[in-house]
Amino acid sequence: MTNAKKSLPIYVTQPLLPDLADFMPYLEQIWASKWLTNSGPFHQQLEQALCDYLGVKHLALFANGTLALVTALQALRITGEVITTPYTFAATGHALLWNGIKPVFVDIDPITLNLDPDKIEAAITPQTTAIMPVHCYGQPCDVMAIQKIADNYGLKVIYDAAHAFAVQCHDGSVLNHGDLSILSFHATKVFNTFEGGAIICHDAKTKQRIDHLKNFGFADEVTVVAPGINGKMSEINAAFGLLQLNGIDEALEKRKWVDTIYRQCLATIKGIVCPLGMGEKATNYAYFPILVQSDYPLTRDALYQKFRDNNVQVRRYFYPLISDFSMYRGLPSSAPANLPVAKKTAEQVICLPIYPDLSREQIEFIISLMVD
Tens of pLDDT, residues 102-135: 999 999 999 999 999 999 999 999 999 999 999 9
Domain hosting residue 170, numbered range: 20-246
Output the pLDDT for position 2.
Answer: 43
Domain end, chosen from 222, 246, 270, is at: 246
Number of domains in the chain: 2
d(CA 277, CA 259): 9
Same domain, residue pair 225 and 306:
no
31 domain residue, yes or no: yes
Q: Find the radius of gyration of the CA atoms of the chain.
A: 21
The per-residue pLDDT of the chain, averaged, comes to 95
Same domain, residue pair 95 and 209:
yes
Contact 107, 341 (CB under 8 A): yes
Same domain, residue pair 306 and 239:
no
Same domain, residue pair 216 and 258:
no
d(CA 331, CA 326): 10
pTM over 0.85: yes
d(CA 149, CA 123): 12
Output the pLDDT for position 296.
Answer: 98
Same domain, residue pair 255 and 175:
no
Same domain, residue pair 227 and 83:
yes
d(CA 151, CA 178): 11
Does position 350 have pLDDT exceeding 50, yes or no? yes
36-79 per-position pLDDT tens digit: 999 999 999 999 999 999 999 999 999 999 999 999 999 999 99
Same domain, residue pair 105 and 220:
yes
Same domain, residue pair 266 and 136:
no
Contact 102, 81 (CB under 8 A): yes
Residue 351 backbone dihedrals phi, psi, to 5 degrees: -95, 120
280 domain residue, yes or no: yes
Same domain, residue pair 204 and 284:
no
132-179 per-position pLDDT tens digit: 999 999 999 999 999 999 999 999 999 999 999 999 999 999 999 999
- Continuous H helices in the chain: 3-7, 20-33, 41-54, 65-75, 90-98, 143-153, 204-213, 235-246, 248-266, 300-309, 340-348, 360-371
Neighbours of 306 (CB within 10 A): 15
Q: Is 219 helix (H, G, I), strand (E, B) or coil?
A: strand
Output the pLDDT for position 1.
Answer: 42
26 domain residue, yes or no: yes
Looking at residue 325, which CATH number applies to its domain? 3.90.1150.10
Domain end, chosen from 217, 246, 275, is at: 246
What percent of the chain is modeled with pLDDT above 70? Answer: 97
Contact 23, 243 (CB under 8 A): yes
Same domain, residue pair 81 and 205:
yes
